[in-house]
Structure 1
Amino acid sequence: MKTKLLTLLLAVGLLSACAEMNPHPMDMNLAVQTAKTKADHEALAEHYEEAAKDMQLKVEEHKKLLSQYQSKGFRQSKILKDHCQRLINAYEKAVQENLSMATLHRQM
């Protein structure tokens, strides 16, 4: 039973880690190069805020996984916990960077 649960948790963790983080719904290079109006920069700011929301969902998802790993006595739990913590840190940084970009575009 523990083996099946571990396999399931690993599969979910790997699938979520390998999922595309945030495919850009717009050509970001073109959008940034051609942004001239307040509306253009507002659209970019909204894009970055949406990306930040997506990253925050990933943070919460991995915090839940980390909690599960911490409550279980899996032999591989240190590896799993470390993996989740690294992802949490990366996603939290991505949240902050995206919010920072949104702020900068709103100031333009």
Structure 2
Amino acid sequence: MKTKTLQNIIRNVIAAFIVLALPMSVFAAEQNAQSDRVDHDALIQHYEAQADEMLAKIDEQIDALKHKSRSSFFGKHGQDIKSHVKYKIHEYEKAAEESLEKAAYHKQMAEEREHKPVFAGSGNTKG
């Protein structure tokens, strides 16, 4: 008799858990889809801001090079200064390009998320 009662209690607990847990998993799936979208948008903004920052640094280096007196390039380290500034500009260009590529990737991921159906049994499916 105790075994039957224990089995019934276990069945009822499992059934109650299933009834309560399923709606939560649907809610979690919807929240996950929304948070993924927000994360991509935040990353897009971050990488675009990073690229803008690199482009601003390039402009600063070019302005500094233009406003430097010509005589500063004649000394012992004059050509080193010019080469170093060119190197910095090149590195900033590479960093800006990488940031823009990452932003483009996250834009693509965000667009794909919009078009993917949500299969969680919530009735929010796209077909």
The amino acid that maps onto 2:106 is H
The equivalent of 1:95 in structure 2 is 96
Taking structure 1 as the reference length, the TM-score comes to: 0.62
Q: What pairs up with 1:42-61 in 2 under 5 angstroms?
A: 42-61=41-60
In the TM superposition, what whole-angstrom CA distance separates every residue of 1:23-61 from its partner, at most 9, and x where no partner exists?
xxxxxxxxxxxxx62221010010000000111111001
The runs of at least 4 aligned residues of structure 1 exceeding 6 Å deviation read: none
User: Does the aligned pair in 2 maintain the 1:62–1:84 contact within 8 Å?
Assistant: yes
Structure with higher Rg: it is 2
Which runs of no fewer than 5 residues in structure 1 stay unpaired? 1-35
Structure 2's unaligned 5+ residue stretches are 1-34, 110-127
Q: Following TM superposition, by how much is the alpha carbon of 1:72 offset from its aligned partner in structure 2, in angstroms?
A: 1.2
Deviation at 1:67, TM superposition (A): 2.0
Q: 2: CA distance between counterparts of 1:46 and 1:67?
A: 32
> What is the aligned-residue identity percentage?
36
Q: How many residues align?
A: 73
Deviation at 1:66, TM superposition (A): 2.0
